[in-house]
Structure formats: structure tokens, C-alpha cells
Structure 1
Amino acid sequence: MRKDPDDDLATALPPSLTVDLHLPEPVHEAPPEEEAVALDAIAVTSDVDSAVSTMSIDIPTAVVAAIPDVDEEVAEPTVVVPLPEHPETPVPAAAPAPKRTKAAKPLKPGRKPAPEGSWPELVYAVSLHLVNLGDSAPVRARKALDARIARRFDDRPRFVPVLSRKGGVGKTTVTVLLGMALADVRGDRVLAIDANPDRGTLADRVTKQTRSTVRDIVLHAPELNEFDELSTHVSHDASGLDVAASDTDPLLSEAFDDGGYNVVADVVSPHYGLVVTDSGTGVVHSVMRATLQRADAVVVVSGGSIDEARLASETLTWLEANNYGDLVANAVVALNASTQGTDLDKLHDIEDHFRSRVRAVVRIPYDPELAAGSVVRYEALRPFTRDSARQLAALVVDGLPGEGE
């Protein structure tokens, strides 16, 4: 039997053979329609081109056996070799786009906004938005009070000292309540300064975030041109109120006088719209002179007993005798109805007395959140207490001079 020469060739070859194929560099010719705008010839070499121009491919023996003898003249074979498949590199998932707050749809001309309040909201929903009763009476009252508290002023800040001739009547508590009620609604910054010449406790009524005091603000005044620099010396309450503490050392606190208060007031003026000052007990110390000279309105704090009310009335008399009669006529009395010795039967008589001398009187009720004597959480106050603080804030803002005054 005659052996096929191809069988001998296949037997003589190894199981696999490596053949180097040198393919010509791919040439890109621009189509006719691109010639007019084609750039100059630029040599570009990509990783794929390099891999194709020179590569080593393992060809099985059976394929080699089918190739004609090299001595014969044959047309150049066209070998189609599939490239190995590469696993696709996973593309990292794009970070989710931040949620965009949906803008409120503009109201159609003549159409009122959706009402607030249980009954108006129910009627509005049941009627498929066809019947709009408007806000309920409590909601209208709340919005009106917010508008009064949020009244804006010009670039000059407004100063409001809180005064008392007797300790223990809740002057610091009233300062905190007033500051929180203002800061919770207003769009500008509100600061409470502890200007007590003795060791004040205003900073103890908020969460402390710094050990700095008004003394540090005085010492670093030339460096505190920007708010970020000043903010490191005050504590920031959740309601939005900022607090500048007094000195904790009674010996050093004596150095905080009218000059020191004026320096602090000048430093904070460019950054705050309203400054409430806890003036300390009494009215004859040096800081009181500086606070009254800058005051746009005053709040006088009285306890609920006859003796405490008498001392508060004497404070008004002292102000009138020292040429501050305009402040007395525009003053608001905060009547703390939770002090020791409060005579509930006499509260109406006390209120009537002060209404005859000042512009308004606000009664501050007992509240466990205030009675603790520690950090005051504005959101934890009883509704009536919070409403009293808001009434006090609105009355104070009502009496502040407007733009250009």
C-alpha cells in the first residue's frame, strides 16, 4: 500500500508549531469627503496595532500539514486567525447623582397656596384641590408671629440688653429664651453676650463648644476680621443662637469693663444682626454704661413676688433718672412666674402696674426644662413656654428701630 507523503509530513512535525507572522502596518486612507478637512499625517501607534503587527500564534499540527509545500509556487495564503478573547474589565458603577430638590410649581395666577391646618387640609384633599379654605387661625397666627420676629434691618446690628437689679429672678434664663426664639426664626445671626462683671452662667445654658470667653475676644480682636475666626470663640446652639461666655475666674472677670464690652461689640457688629446682652445683676457697674449707650431696646426681668416686682420697677425709675426715659417707654418686662415667692393672686396686679410704665409685659411660665438650671433645649420646651418666648421676641423686634433709624 502506497503511503501518502502528507502522512509522513504530519508524522514528522511536532505536536505544535510556533509561526511568527509579520503583518503590514495598517494604513488609514481618508475618504474623499474628508480630504478637504484632513489634518497633516500624524503617526499614531495604538496598543492594538502593536499587538497585531507582531504576534506569536500557536497553530495545531493538522493545520500545518494542510499547508502546501514551500517549494511550489502558490498564491500567498490568507490565514484568518481568531484573536484570543479577553475578559471585559468591569466598569465601576458611577456614583449616584445627588438628589435634586424638586422646585415648587409656580402658582397659577389667582390661585392660593395649599392650606395648612387639619380641617383646611382635609377639605382641600377631599375636594381634589378645588376647595381652598386657607390656613387655619392658629397657622395664620404662627406665620404672622414669624413675620414679626424675622423683620430685617439694615447693616447696623441691633443691641438688646436684659436687665435686673436682683439676682435669682431668671435674667439669664430670659436672655437664653429670647436669643433662641430670635435665632430660630430670623435669617441673620443672633449673638448672646454674657457681660456679667462677676462669674456669669449664660454659657452653661447651651452646649459649650469652646473654652474662649469675652476676654479672649478682646485679646484677639485685631485678628478677628472674618466670621470663621470669630466663630472659634463662641458656642453655637442647635437653635442657631451663638453665645460668648464670660470669664470663669472671678479675679479676671473684673477686667471686663465698659472698654472690653465696646471692643467685643465692635468685633461682632459686622457679623450679627441682633446682639442680646446678659447684663449681670445691678445697674451701676461699668459694663452697664456701655450696654445702655448701645441699646436699641431693653428687656427688664421681674420675679413674680411683690418684692421682686418692686425692684424691677425701681430699675425703670433709675433708667428714667439717668436720661434713658426713651428706653423705659419702649421697654418690655419679662415677668418670671416661676420664681420662689411668686404670688399667683397678685400676678395680674403686677402686670397692670408694669403696663402703665412700659410698652408690653410677657409672662414666662414654669417649665421643667428651665427649672433644671442647665442646658436649655429649645425644642424640649413646653408649647406654652416656647410661645411665650416667641411673643417676647416679636415684641422686642417690634420696638427696634428700622432701617436708617
Structure 2
Amino acid sequence: MTQTNTPKPAPRPARGAGAEEPTPEKAAAASPLQDAAPAAAVSQDTAVSQDTAVSQDTAPVDAVPPAAPPGDISVVTVSDAQDRTSAGSLSAVSTMTIPVRPASLPTVTAGPAATVPEEPEGSPAEDENQADPEAQHHLSERRERAEGPEPAAALTADRLLNKAAAAPVAGWRRWLHQATFGFVNLGDPDSVRIQRALEHRIATRLGERTRYVPVLSRKGGVGKTTVTTLLGMVLADLREDRVIAMDANPDRGTLSDRSPGRADFTARQLVKDRFTVNSFAQLSNYTARDGSRLDVLASDTDPMVAHAFDDADYRAVTDILGRYYSIVLTDSGTGMVHSVMKGTLEKADAVVLVSGGSVDEARLASETLSWLEAHGRQDLVAKATVVINMAAGDRTLVNIDEIEQHFLSRVKNVVRIPHDRHLAEGSRIQLSQLKPATRRAAVELAALVMEELQQS
């Protein structure tokens, strides 16, 4: 077998008096970045015979040069084949060591016995087990809130569930939504959205105190009882609490005739039994409810008995109703000077004034506002809602727009209820049989009344 002999470097003299000091030029020439490739070539070109074993021991250092200035590199050469004491030793092993540099650069050691160098003080490796600022940046912002982590109650359905747009309720928009299998959804028109906004205002909570709303009129036959029934049905249908309409007409009232259901007792009998009524179950025996969520407390059919219903009786009945109902509507009589009217206005949180579409009916309604102002109830006039009931139709020569503008100069809200054949029948009212325009007007009236009650 042919063996190639590699020229051996001349041995360096031992440190002593005659030792040659390394110069900066020689130290720069021995830079590990420049000598890495030649060192690797020497290691690869060194021939080792097949019967020569590899030794794991590193030869002792022959010489150590003096420390070089920061930034310089000193080379330490380890003795090779000349110092072999046996045939099994490794020939020519060279180890290069880079001294410690400034804190910005770590020490690197290359060679067969290379180990992980110690990092300088302040290195990121010392804080390896500590929290990484970049990792902390990815933490949830809710976890770092001042008030602490979120409670379980924060996981609501509105937050977690993806909401899909509701299909249109009717019209060509709904047909298009069904024809495209839901891919085209234009939503409801503005009229439907306004209606939903009004219904949301009606359903707003009022608080713990009962609100009283009398419906007034100085002329019979203008639809006062009809307006009371419509207002009560819409409030009871859209609200979660209890609503009752009370017939306080000193004459023969017709509120029970316009409302679904029949009652076995009247307001006069409730006055007699007021000290024995201690629960809503007992009170429900005196009210009527059939096909509607509106409770109705009727008046006596005998005019002579009804006439005996005075201010003290009204206060006693409303005190009982105030325990179990959130809103109490009062279908008042036409007599503004009657004793019942005194307690009605004193307890009132808002009033609804009904006017017809004729000249005399509009004039009497305006005079009612003047009477309230003359008796020191300017607050009720400012919060009053005038209803123009078009029960007779709009084919007369009366300019209804002028009547509406007149009342807007005196009160805040004016609502016009259009003519409806179902209302003109004079029988029991059902919301499902009303025309859409009539139902929208009733919902608008309820929303305006609720707005005034929330401010009271």
C-alpha cells in the first residue's frame, strides 16, 4: 500500500528567552475565518494507515502566545505526529481557539473537542427560561386587563354565534330570497324596519312605578273608547308586563263591548271588595281577558249605579290596580268637571286627547287643551298626544292637514288613525283584522305614549 507523506510544520521553539513574539501581521494571517478552509484541507489530506487507530486524547498544548488585544486572534498549534509515542496515536491534530471578545460577540471554539462556549453576561441565553417579550406580545389582551380575566358570563350566544341575516317578511324581496335559495337577501324595506324600531321602543321597561294614562274627549262619538282599546291592545301585545284598561265613564261605558272577553264583576264591585283582594289571582276575577293580553275593568251597565262612581272610588280602584299592573289606561268620560276627572288628572303621567275629523270635534279638542292649561296642567299639555280619528272617512271637505298643523302648534305629538271598516263596525276589536295602515298608526301611537312615560 502506498502512503503519502504530508510535510510537517517546523516545530515552534518553546516559550522562553529565545521565543519569537507574534506580531499583529502574523496574528491577522492566522484568523480562523481565513484559515478555516486550509485547516480543513490539511485534516483531509493527512493520510492515516489502515492499522493506525484514532486516539481520543488531545495532545498537550505546546506553546501559548501572549494575550492579544481585543479584536485580535491568537493561534495555538498542538504538536502532531512528531510527538507520537505509539503507533496508535493520531497524527497532526490542530486546535484553534478564539479568545473572548467584547460583550457584543461571543467566543467560538472550533475543533474535534469543541464545546459550547460560555455566553457573556447579559446575553439572551441567560434568560432562556424566562418569558420571551415576543411571546408575551401574543398573549390575549383580555388576559392583561386591569379588571382581570373574563368571567364565564362573557360567553354569550350573541358573541359566539354567527348571525345570519333574517329573510324578508313579505313582498317581492321575500320571493327573490326564496327563488335564489337564500343567496340573494335584500332585507326588509324601510317601512318594515321603522315598524320594528317602534315596537322596540314600546317594549322598553318603565321601572317599578305604575304609569297612568287617561284618554280624554269632550265630545262623545269621536272614538275615545276605540282609541283606548287600540292603545291597550298594542301595549299588551308588545310588552312583557301587565296592562289594563279601566272604564271610568260616569255614564254607561262601552269599553267592555269593544274588548274581547266578559267579566262577572265591575269596578263598583271591586271597590266594595278592595280590602279582600290580596293577590293577582283574586283581582283577575274582576277583569276580562279573552283573545288578548289586555285586561279590561268594565263599568256598570246601570247608569244610576255608574253615576255613583266618584273620585274616592277611582282612587281606591287605581291603588289596587297599581299593585299588579305597570300601565293603567283610563277611558274617561266627557265631563271635565266631574269629580272622577280630578283624581284622573292628578294621577296622570301622560294624556291622550281624541279628536274627530269634523270642525266641531277639532274645536272641542282644542278647547280641552285650553281647559287643562287654565287649571294649571301645562305639563300634561306639553306631553299630550292628540289622535285624529278618521272613523267617518276622509271624503269630507274638511282639510285634515290643517287640523293636524293646528294641534302640532300646541302639543308635541299628533297621530292620524285612518278609516277602517273593522273599527267602524262598533264591535270587538281584533288586531289581526285591522288594515296594515291602521295597525301602523296604532303602533306609532303606542310608541309616542311610551316615549312620554319614560320621561315622566
TM-score, reference length from structure 1: 0.69
1:223-244 per-residue CA deviation (whole Å, 9 max, x = no partner) reads 2121110001011142311110
The answer on 1:268 being equivalent to 2:333 is: no
SS at match of 2:332: strand
User: In the alignment, which residue of structure 1 is the partner of 2:93?
Assistant: none
C-alpha separation between the residues in 1 aligned to 2:221 and 2:261? 22
The answer on 1:208 being equivalent to 2:285 is: no
Of 346, 353, 366, 1:293 maps to 346
1:309-328 matches, cutoff 5 A: 309-328=362-381
C-alpha separation between the residues in 2 aligned to 1:371 and 1:135? 31
C-alpha separation between the residues in 2 aligned to 1:287 and 1:318? 16
Compared with structure 1, are the counterparts of its residues 158 and 310 closer, same or farther at alpha carbon in structure 2 (3 Å cutoff)? same
Compared with structure 1, are the counterparts of its residues 322 and 237 closer, same or farther at alpha carbon in structure 2 (3 Å cutoff)? farther
**Quick one: which amino acid aligns to residue 219 of structure 2?**
K
User: In the alignment, which residue of structure 2 is the partner of 1:228?
Assistant: 281
User: In the alignment, which residue of structure 1 is the partner of 2:386?
Assistant: 333
> How many residues align structurally?
300
Task: Give how far 1:384 is off.
Answer: 1.2
Task: Give how far 1:324 is off.
Answer: 0.7
The answer on 1:304 being equivalent to 2:357 is: yes
Task: Give how far 1:208 is off.
Answer: 3.5
The answer on 1:116 being equivalent to 2:168 is: yes
**Quick one: which amino acid aligns to residue 194 of structure 1?**
D
1:5-404 matches, cutoff 5 A: 108=160, 111-118=163-170, 133-339=186-392, 343-402=396-455
**Quick one: which amino acid aligns to residue 288 of structure 2?**
S
SS at match of 1:232: helix
SS at match of 1:209: coil
Task: Give how far 1:126 is off.
Answer: 6.7
Task: Give how far 1:124 is off.
Answer: 5.9
**Quick one: which amino acid aligns to residue 192 of structure 2?**
V
Task: Give how far 1:345 is off.
Answer: 3.9
Question: Is the deviation greater in 255-264 or in 127-136?
Answer: 127-136
C-alpha separation between the residues in 1 aligned to 2:395 and 2:269? 39
SS at match of 2:275: helix
**Quick one: which amino acid aligns to residue 116 of structure 1?**
P
Higher relative contact order (CA 8 A, sep 6+): 1
C-alpha separation between the residues in 2 aligned to 1:113 and 1:172? 40
SS at match of 2:281: helix
CA root-mean-square deviation:
2.4
Compared with structure 1, are the counterparts of its residues 194 and 236 closer, same or farther at alpha carbon in structure 2 (3 Å cutoff)? same
Question: Is the deviation greater in 176-185 or in 113-122?
Answer: 113-122
User: In the alignment, which residue of structure 2 is the partner of 1:73?
Assistant: none
**Quick one: which amino acid aligns to residue 372 of structure 2?**
L
C-alpha separation between the residues in 2 aligned to 1:130 and 1:372? 45
C-alpha separation between the residues in 1 aligned to 2:179 and 2:159? 20
C-alpha separation between the residues in 2 aligned to 1:353 and 1:260? 36
1:67-113 per-residue CA deviation (whole Å, 9 max, x = no partner) reads xxxxxxxxxxxxxxxxxxxxxxxxxxxxxxxxxxxxxx867556444
SS at match of 1:270: helix
SS at match of 2:331: strand
Task: Identify unmatched segments of 5+ residues in structure 1.
Answer: 1-104
Compared with structure 1, are the counterparts of its residues 121 and 247 closer, same or farther at alpha carbon in structure 2 (3 Å cutoff)? same
**Quick one: which amino acid aligns to residue 308 of structure 1?**
E
Alignment check: 8 A CA contact 1:305 1:341 kept: no
Task: Give how far 1:254 is off.
Answer: 1.9
C-alpha separation between the residues in 2 aligned to 1:380 and 1:123? 28
C-alpha separation between the residues in 2 aligned to 1:122 and 1:110? 24
Compared with structure 1, are the counterparts of its residues 281 and 320 closer, same or farther at alpha carbon in structure 2 (3 Å cutoff)? same
Task: Give how far 1:341 is off.
Answer: 10
SS at match of 2:214: strand
Name the % identity: 52
TM-score, reference length from structure 2: 0.62
Compared with structure 1, are the counterparts of its residues 344 and 231 closer, same or farther at alpha carbon in structure 2 (3 Å cutoff)? farther
C-alpha separation between the residues in 2 aligned to 1:248 and 1:156? 32
Compared with structure 1, are the counterparts of its residues 124 and 384 closer, same or farther at alpha carbon in structure 2 (3 Å cutoff)? closer
C-alpha separation between the residues in 2 aligned to 1:162 and 1:134? 38
C-alpha separation between the residues in 2 aligned to 1:359 and 1:388? 16
User: In the alignment, which residue of structure 2 is the partner of 1:4?
Assistant: none
Compared with structure 1, are the counterparts of its residues 291 and 342 closer, same or farther at alpha carbon in structure 2 (3 Å cutoff)? farther
Alignment check: 8 A CA contact 1:334 1:362 kept: yes
Task: Identify unmatched segments of 5+ residues in structure 2.
Answer: 1-156
User: In the alignment, which residue of structure 1 is the partner of 2:144?
Assistant: none
Alignment check: 8 A CA contact 1:116 1:139 kept: no
C-alpha separation between the residues in 2 aligned to 1:200 and 1:242? 16
User: In the alignment, which residue of structure 1 is the partner of 2:120?
Assistant: none
Q: Going by fraction, where is strand more abundant, 1 or 2?
A: 1
Alignment check: 8 A CA contact 1:117 1:135 kept: yes
Alignment check: 8 A CA contact 1:198 1:280 kept: yes
